[in-house]
Amino acid sequence: MEHIIIIGGGGTGAALAHDLALRGFKVSLFEKGELLSGTTGRHHGLLHSGARYAVHDPTAAQECIAENSILRRIAPQALEQNDGLFVALEETDMAYRRVFVESCRACGISVRQLSAAEALGLEPALNPNLKLALQLPDATMDAWRLPLQFFATAKANGAELHSFAEVRGIHVRSGRVTGVRIFDYKKHREYDVRGDLLVNATGAWAGKICALAGIQVPVQPGPGVMVTVNARLTNMVINRLHPAGEGDIIVPQRKLSALGTSLWLANDPDGIALPRDHIRRIIGLCAQMVPAVKDTPLHSAWCAARPLLGGRKADDPQKISRTFDCYDHKERDNLEGLVSVMGGKATTLRAMAAKTADLICRKTGRDLPCRTAAQKLLHWRLFYQ
């Protein structure tokens, strides 16, 4: 069976290692830092229902709701199945309700309307002046444990996972990728690895990897700031009922509340500085939904970069689609042996892997169906055994 090299140990690489190992491929994955130390280990942990995208990005919304129900079945240990509320505070939020509900239903996302009293009965910390709330199948995921379940299962099925192993070069001979040059940070040495096919699953870094092979991909790093305050203020995920914007989500994470987020476009995913003014802005906006946010001590603030498809062409970065794609660089750039996968969400990691592994099967002439939607994942604790 062919040897597939995956670059990138984030959620996408984890799900792809699992999918390919399950189909019987020999898999070697290389991650330049600790596994999950890129964007995946640092997002705020929403298992999207897709509702946030239903109006302006229905493809991403449908991908999210489909994966939301699959992940509940195959990885329940990494999820808290707590649902989400979209709360209306102003008349403009109320005016948005109709198109929001219609778009959610068109995407297959169930919506239940609650009166203000019903919503406050469920979540007493909400702004008492809210007008109504909509209940949807959002949930809290553990940003580490979910992909660790994919890694644990991939490892049990024979995938080799190398952390602190940076790809510094891509070997090309006669228009074909033949392998990679690795720098091993643990042993401080370089070595070569040969493979039949190379997959670039490096998220916001995908452009840098393609540049090693002299080609370009349409990925745009889109950083955002997240803030946690030192109390769990709600049991459900709380969103603002308005078009996607800043500071409109609160994700309860164990005994903390993670507030998100902002979005700007960057040229380079490395060395992104945290704009300190975003912290106060996010706290102020989230406190409109849950007033106790502003009186709760700050726990931490950090940022990470989304791997956005397309990018600079959009007039409003919030409108850039959160869908994903994978590319066969033979078709795109006349370079055989390289595939890139990028875009998407942590919620859609399994679907991204399935589409990429299907492409790899077509390229290698294998007729091996995807089985990951039905295969329960191993517990994340088994990764460490």
Judged by the rule CB under 6 A, the positions of this chain that interact with ligand FAD are: 7-13, 30-33, 37-40, 43-46, 48, 166-167, 201-205, 209, 224, 226, 260-261, 304-307, 344-347
Distance CA 385, CA 379 (A): 11
Q: Is the Cβ of residue 12 or residue 103 nearer to ligand FAD in the bound state?
A: 12
Distance CA 339, CA 148 (A): 23
Q: Is the Cβ of residue 39 or residue 220 nearer to ligand FAD in the bound state?
A: 39
Q: Is the Cβ of residue 31 or residue 325 nearer to ligand FAD in the bound state?
A: 31
Q: What is the DSSP string of 172-191?
A: EETTEEEEEEEEETTTTEEE
Beta-carbon contacts of residue 359 (< 8 Å; ≥ 6 apart): 326, 328, 339
Distance CA 296, CA 56 (A): 34
Q: Report the SS3 class of residue 344.
A: coil
Q: Is the Cβ of residue 132 or residue 142 nearer to ligand FAD in the bound state?
A: 142
Residue 320 CA to its chain's centroid (Å): 15
Q: Which helix (H) or strand (E) holds 119?
A: helix 116-122
Q: Which residue is nearest to ligand FAD (CB)?
A: 10
Q: How far is the CB of 258 from ligand FAD (least distance, A)?
A: 8
Distance CA 176, CA 330 (A): 9
Q: How far is the CB of 117 from ligand FAD (least distance, A)?
A: 29
Q: How far is the CB of 171 from ligand FAD (least distance, A)?
A: 14
Q: How far is the CB of 237 from ligand FAD (least distance, A)?
A: 9
Query: Over 229-289, what HEC string results?
Result: ECCCCCCCEEEECCCCCCCCEEEEECCEEEEECCCCCCCCCCCCCCCHHHHHHHHHHHHHH
Residue 350 · residue 15 · CB < 8 Å: yes
Q: Is the Cβ of residue 132 or residue 225 nearer to ligand FAD in the bound state?
A: 225
What backbone torsions phi and psi does residue 115 show, to the nearest 5 degrees? Answer: -70, 165
Q: How far is the CB of 98 from ligand FAD (least distance, A)?
A: 26
Q: How far is the CB of 220 from ligand FAD (least distance, A)?
A: 12
Q: Is the Cβ of residue 120 or residue 256 nearer to ligand FAD in the bound state?
A: 256
What type of residue sits at position 385? Q
What type of residue sits at position 265? L
Q: How far is the CB of 349 from ligand FAD (least distance, A)?
A: 7
Q: Is the Cβ of residue 97 or residue 355 nearer to ligand FAD in the bound state?
A: 355
Q: Is the Cβ of residue 223 or residue 337 nearer to ligand FAD in the bound state?
A: 223
Q: Which two tokens stand for residue 227?
A: 């803030």
Q: How far is the CB of 49 from ligand FAD (least distance, A)?
A: 11
Q: How far is the CB of 301 from ligand FAD (least distance, A)?
A: 11
Q: Is the Cβ of residue 97 or residue 278 nearer to ligand FAD in the bound state?
A: 278
Q: What is the DSSP string of 134-170?
A: EEE--EEE-TTHHHHHHHHHHHHTT-EEESSEEEEEE
Beta bridge partners of residue 201, listed in sequence order: none
